[in-house]
Every structure is written in C-alpha cells, then in structure tokens.
Amino acid sequence: MSDSPASARPMVIADRVVKSFGSHTVLKDISLTVNRGEVVCVIGPSGSGKSTFLRCINHLEKLDGGRIIVDDELIGYRERGDKIYELKPKEAAEQRKDIGMVFQRFNLFPHLTVLENIIEAPTQVKRQSKDAATTRALELLARVGLAEKAKAYPASLSGGQQQRVAIARALAMDPKLMLFDEPTSALDPELVGEVLDVMKQLAKDGMTMIVVTHEMGFAREVADSLVFMDGGVVVESGDPREVLAHPQHDRTKAFLSKVL
C-alpha cells in the first residue's frame, strides 16, 4: 500500500469471469476494472448476475472461468507455473477479511448486541484485544450515527439502523474494498436516505466500493463509473451521468425507461 505508484494499480481486476449454477450460466463473460478510491455502481434487471458477480469477488462463489484479482492477489486460487491450485479454506478466509461486504438483508448476528456484532470478527479473526476492538467499534458506531445503540440487540433496531450497524461491522475489519449487495432494497423508503448518507461519507473518505443498487440518484451523484449488466454480460459502462442520460444500447434504454 505504501508504494508510490499505488494509485496507478487497480484495486479490482475482473478478467473474463464465468460462473454457472448447474447448466445455468449466470455470468457469461464479465470484465471490469476498479481503481483505488473509486466507487462503481452496478445496475441491471434482477437475475442479471449482479449479486453473483459481487459474491465472486470475495469468493463466496467459486468461479468457473476467468480470474479476479484484488489488490494484486488472485482471489480463491494460487498460480504456480502454469497450474492453478485451489486455496485452502483458511487462505480464502485470509483474503476475505480485507474485503468488507454488506448484504441486502443486513445479516447481523441476532444473538449478539450491536457492539458484540462489530467486535466479533476483529477479536476472533484478527485476534485484537477486546478493549482495542471496543474502542474502535464505538468510533465506528459514532461515525454511522448509532453511538447510543451499542448495547441494543439488532431486533430492536429499524432496518436502516441495522444496515448502518452492518456497515460498521464490515468497516471494523479495516477492509481495503467494500462490496454492497443492494444495501437499501430491503428498507422502507423513508429509511433509505440514512444508509445512503453513510455510504456517501464512506466514498468521500476514499473507500473503494462496488455497489449493486437500484438507487439511480446515488449512482448519479456518487459513482465514478456505472456498469449496466444484463444476461450475465456487461452491456454498457461509463460515466454515470452519461450512461443514465444517453444510454447507447437498446437493453440499457429499455431498463432505464422502466426504473427512472
């Protein structure tokens, strides 16, 4: 990270990624580059493979073809000569701890308090002391505006609050990349804003983010680049304002006419 040409090396390179479930090929040929500090929004109709692609980046799903490189490291595999070896679960976990993920359905641990949710991975995975992890967790909670909820259980929070805790939980691992899988799709409309505001702040602070979303306003305002996926391929990508205002492909036009 401290190398001088750091900003020149992309954070994420996806190269001709293919993923199938049985006979159904979800990702046909996805190539995408995300530079450090960049925010990329991925849009597209449901079933287009957006979430699957996101889950491939932290190896929750195994690739069937192509490769994904995060911070110069091949994800899920090791190359030796001309052979590719699958990583051991422990090595895959090692890669995941630097990639934060926020889910559509929050997936907070319901049997733990907000604070315990956030310090779980730092203490268990990174072996941080409980005091250090707690101090950091309270900082992060203040950052997402929930300092007074540290002792509450997730079930007593609103959806928007739960999602903000989930973001704080991911940030507690000091990730170099954040993946957001439709973070506002399960929220009541009036709670969407508070989560987007936290994400905007995160983008402003220079976090590299890949966001699968239906929030076109967020994409237009925050994203450095917008990717439209359909049928397992990237149909169109580029400057968000440009893509949203002047879509080139018919499929993009058809999709945007429905959602805008």
Distance between CA atoms of 254 and 250, rounded to whole angstroms?
6
Distance between CA atoms of 123 and 116, rounded to whole angstroms?
10
Segment near other proteins (CB under 8 A), from 36-44, 72-80, 153-161, 224-232?
153-161
Site string for other proteins, 65-104 (x = CB under 8 A): ------------------------xx--xx-xxxxxx-x-
Distance between CA atoms of 49 and 13, rounded to whole angstroms?
17
Q: What are phi and psi of 211, to 5 degrees?
A: -120, 115
Q: Does 129 bind other proteins (CB under 8 A)?
A: no
- Chain centroid to Cα 206, Å, comes to 14
What the block records as the tokens of 175 is 């990730």
Distance between CA atoms of 259 and 214, rounded to whole angstroms?
8
Residue 241: its H or E element: helix 240-245
DSSP code for 87: P
User: Which residue among 109, 139, 206, 254 contacts other proteins (CB under 8 A)?
Assistant: 109
User: Which residue among 107, 176, 214, 224 contacts other proteins (CB under 8 A)?
Assistant: 107
- In the block, residue with structure tokens 């049985």: 22
Q: What is the DSSP string of 160-171?
A: HHHHHHHHHHHH
Distance between CA atoms of 22 and 239, rounded to whole angstroms?
35
Site string for other proteins, 27-46 (x = CB under 8 A): --------------------
What's the one-letter identity of residue 77? Y
Segment near other proteins (CB under 8 A), from 139-147, 210-218, 224-232, 252-260?
139-147
- Chain centroid to Cα 164, Å, comes to 14
User: Which residue among 31, 124, 129, 135 contacts other proteins (CB under 8 A)?
Assistant: 124
Q: Minimal distance in Å, beta carbon 187 to other proteins? A: 12
User: Which residue among 84, 125, 132, 259 contacts other proteins (CB under 8 A)?
Assistant: 125
Q: Minimal distance in Å, beta carbon 136 to other proteins? A: 15
User: Which residue among 13, 18, 60, 74 contacts other proteins (CB under 8 A)?
Assistant: 60
Q: How many residues bind other proteins (CB under 8 A)?
A: 49
Contacts with other proteins by CB under 8 A lie at 58, 60, 89-90, 93-94, 96-101, 103, 105, 107-114, 120-121, 124-125, 144-146, 148-158, 160-161, 169-170, 173, 193-194, 197-198
